[in-house]
């Protein structure tokens, strides 16, 4: 018969005893500081996987049970991407 994983923890304890020497303990930090401005800048540059337009040009409706994304029309893309008139 093979080894049994009886006792406290059972199978999970046996796996931990076998893997911990090989992979080491899990990382507990310190984690890099995430600056909110970097997150906002990254989101502003992200592209839609469906239409390829900037995600900042889309409208996201989370009011219902399902989130809906409304894609901009080519005219809206031109209007929203154009530099402001002075």
- Ordered per-residue pLDDT tens for the chain, 86 residues: 455 556 677 888 888 889 989 998 888 888 888 899 998 888 888 999 999 999 989 999 999 999 999 999 999 988 887 777 76
Cβ partners under 8 Å of residue 81, min gap 6: 54, 57
| pTM of model > 0.85 | no
Q: What is the pLDDT of residue 1?
A: 46
């Amino acid at each position: 018969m093979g080894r049994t994983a009886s006792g406290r923890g059972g199978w999970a304890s046996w796996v931990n005893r076998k893997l911990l020497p090989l992979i080491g303990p899990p990382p507990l930090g310190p984690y890099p500081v995430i600056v909110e401005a970097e997150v906002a800048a990254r989101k502003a540059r992200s592209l839609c996987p469906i239409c390829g337009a900037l995600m900042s040009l889309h409208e996201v409706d989370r009011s219902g049970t399902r989130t809906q994304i409304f894609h901009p029309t080519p005219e809206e893309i031109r209007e929203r991407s154009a530099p402001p008139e002075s």
